[in-house]
């Protein structure tokens, strides 16, 4: 009997594959740049829309949380209805949600639009690498996948600068709105070009999605994150702790449900074999801790620089740029190591991140009336190198002990854990920062001192988190890299 893989290999590659790759890269770039561009605009949104501390947290957390919860179900739905169709729907949803963000006249509308934007991102992101994998023959995939890593690095560098330029330009008398509205022509162009050029990949209608699992997982995560963000505003009432407890119960029920689905031979949202794989779940925990460190940090730094010390959005974006440059440099270097020295690379990443952010803590703790942005350059560059070095080695460490048949599901699930970690980090860092900020203002501190003290305290979370990653690097088993690790190299897209 002939193998379907052999038949696929014998089929001539689609002549439109490189043009379709450009469209995939543009859409992916639009999604990735949105992660970093919003941080620069947070102080402007806070002032323009009269947002509370909790609401400004939700501008970031709502997107990350919706994106995290949508990755697994929409990845499966792409298999069912067709990956190209799901990708185009995702770009359309992301573009429409971007328009809603730009037209938002109050903070509640903006947060709602950010949820829709996260859903659109989750619809298109799982399809991007899947389409590229099917479209390109094996000997061209390495080159194609390397461009995804390059686009991710460029997005992290361009986001803060582009955000600052768009806000400072005050286009058509608008303030922060153009950072979202700029997605509209790009998204429309990607939809039209994608419809014409990306090969139609058929779906598999016989496949099924695990809708009960989706509900249990989604409700469980939201029940844990929501009270962490909102609890401070209500004085940490009993319902907040009860909601966290209920969320943990729901996640326990999710585990049980996945086991029942596996026993019945039915599809699971998260492969039950992975849930029972202690090495994988330990790795997922480390991914969650690792990913929790960065999004909240940049929320705090942007508020510190702009609201505390009067930086313009462009000045704030330029101050943060060394971190993104470090990510880009380290990502390029890390690719040369392949699957070698993974534990040592992760330990070095944890040390660089903890050390760089610890250095930044002491710089911020020592400021009084002004900040010299040049003093941020060395610690942010060091921390950025740590992040770029860490994610690729961490994904490979986790996936190298996963059977090849589960490597695709394992990689997709790790990206979901990565986003959940980001949402938790935003909630926890925001809790530390805004609680201390309110206390400082209540005691009569000047804005400079209040923001500096709150930011310096909040950065301790990152130091501790990456210190844990440094320690956990040596707990991973020593084992040779395998097919799963090789797949992990191609499946990892770092979002800053």
Q: Tens digits of per-residue pLDDT, 233-275?
A: 788 899 999 999 999 999 999 999 999 999 998 888 888 888 9
Q: What's the average model confidence in pLDDT over 50-65?
A: 90
| pLDDT tens profile 176-190 | 999 999 999 999 999
Q: How many other CB atoms are there within 10 angstroms of residue 279's CB atom?
A: 16
% pLDDT > 70, the chain: 92
pLDDT value at residue 1: 41
pLDDT value at residue 11: 65
In three-state form (DSSP H/G/I as H, E/B as E, the rest C), the secondary structure along 227-274 is HHHHHHHHCCCHHHHHHHHHHHHHHHHHHHHHHHHHHCCCCCCCCHHH
Tell me: pLDDT of 360 over 90.
yes
Mean pLDDT of the chain, nearest integer: 86
Complete DSSP assignment for 35-72: HHHHHHHHHHHHHHHT--HHHHHHHHHHHHHHHHHHHH
Q: How many other CB atoms are there within 10 angstroms of residue 252's CB atom?
A: 12
Distances from the Cα of 135 to the Cα of 31, 82, 123, 198, 207, angstroms: 21, 14, 19, 9, 22
Name the band, by pLDDT with cuts 50, 70 and 90, for residue 482.
Answer: very low
pLDDT value at residue 408: 65
pLDDT value at residue 29: 87
pLDDT value at residue 208: 83
pLDDT value at residue 37: 86
pTM over 0.95: no
Q: What's the average model confidence in pLDDT over 139-161?
A: 76
Q: What is the C-alpha separation between 146 and 129, in angstroms, rounded? A: 11
Q: What's the average model confidence in pLDDT over 212-221?
A: 93
> Hey, CA dihedral for 335, 339, 344, 347, is it positive or negative?
positive
Tell me: pLDDT of 225 over 50.
yes
Contact 281, 275 (CB under 8 A): yes
Contact 383, 359 (CB under 8 A): no
Q: What's the average model confidence in pLDDT over 475-486?
A: 59
Q: What's the average model confidence in pLDDT over 458-463?
A: 95
Q: How many other CB atoms are there within 10 angstroms of residue 131's CB atom?
A: 25
CATH architecture of structural domain 12-200:
Up-down Bundle (1.20)
pLDDT value at residue 484: 46
Q: What's the average model confidence in pLDDT over 136-152?
A: 74
- Cβ partners under 8 Å of residue 80, min gap 6: 203, 204, 205, 207, 208, 209
Tell me: pLDDT of 347 over 70.
yes
Residue whose C-alpha is closest to residue 69's, from 125, 118, 127, 129: 118
User: CATH says 275-496 is which class?
Assistant: mainly alpha
> Which residue is listed with tokens 């190298």?
400
Q: What is the C-alpha separation between 99 and 97, in angstroms, rounded? A: 5
Contact 67, 419 (CB under 8 A): yes
pLDDT value at residue 2: 42
pLDDT value at residue 491: 47
Q: What is the C-alpha separation between 69 and 19, in angstroms, rounded? A: 30
Tell me: pLDDT of 406 over 70.
no
């Amino acid at each position: 009997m002939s193998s379907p893989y052999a038949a696929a290999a014998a089929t001539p590659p689609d002549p439109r594959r490189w043009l379709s790759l450009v469209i995939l890269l543009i859409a992916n770039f639009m999604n990735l740049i949105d992660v970093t561009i919003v941080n620069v605009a947070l102080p402007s949104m806070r002032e323009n829309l009269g947002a509370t501390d909790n609401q400004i947290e939700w501008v970031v957390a709502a997107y990350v949380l919706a994106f995290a919860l949508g990755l697994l179900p929409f990845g499966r739905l792409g298999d069912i209805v067709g990956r190209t169709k799901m990708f185009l729907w995702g770009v359309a949803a992301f573009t429409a949600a971007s328009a809603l963000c730009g037209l938002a006249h109050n903070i509640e509308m903006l947060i709602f639009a950010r949820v829709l934007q996260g859903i659109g991102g989750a619809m298109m992101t799982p399809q991007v690498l899947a389409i590229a994998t099917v479209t390109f023959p094996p000997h061209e995939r390495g080159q194609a996948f390397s461009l995804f890593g390059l686009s991710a690095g460029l997005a992290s560098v361009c986001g803060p600068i582009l955000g600052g330029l768009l806000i400072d330009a005050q286009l058509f008398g608008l303030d922060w709105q153009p950072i979202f509205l700029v997605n509209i022509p790009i998204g429309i162009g990607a939809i039209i070009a994608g419809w014409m050029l990306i090969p139609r990949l058929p779906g598999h209608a016989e496949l099924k999605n695990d809708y009960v699992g989706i509900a249990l997982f989604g409700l469980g995560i939201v029940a844990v994150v929501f009270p962490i963000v909102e609890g401070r505003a209500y004085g940490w009432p009993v319902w907040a702790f009860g909601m966290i407890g209920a969320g943990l119960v729901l996640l326990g029920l999710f585990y049980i449900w996945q086991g029942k689905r596996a026993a019945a031979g039915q599809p699971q949202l998260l492969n039950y074999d992975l849930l029972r794989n202690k090495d994988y779940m330990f790795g997922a925990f480390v991914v969650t801790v690792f990913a929790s460190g960065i999004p909240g940090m940049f929320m705090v730094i942007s508020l510190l620089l702009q609201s505390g010390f009067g930086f313009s959005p462009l000045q704030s974006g330029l101050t943060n740029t060394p971190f993104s440059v470090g990510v880009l440099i380290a990502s390029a270097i890390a690719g040369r190591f392949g699957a070698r020295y993974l534990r040592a690379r992760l330990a070095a990443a944890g040390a660089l991140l903890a050390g760089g952010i610890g250095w930044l803590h002491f710089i911020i703790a020592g400021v009084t009336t002004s900040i010299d942005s040049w003093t941020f350059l060395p610690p942010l560059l060091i921390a950025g190198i740590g992040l770029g070095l860490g994610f690729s080695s961490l994904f490979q460490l986790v996936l190298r002990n996963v059977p090849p048949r589960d490597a695709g599901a394992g990689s997709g699930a790790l990206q979901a854990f990565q986003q959940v970690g980001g949402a938790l980090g935003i909630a926890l860092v925001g809790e530390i920062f805004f609680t201390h900020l309110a206390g400082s203002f209540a005691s009569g501190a000047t804005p400079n001192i209040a923001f500096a003290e709150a930011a310096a305290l909040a950065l301790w979370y990152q130091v501790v988190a990456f210190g844990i990653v440094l320690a956990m690097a040596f707990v991973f088993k020593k084992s040779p890299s395998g097919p799963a690790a090789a797949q992990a190299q191609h499946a990892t897209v770092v979002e800053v």
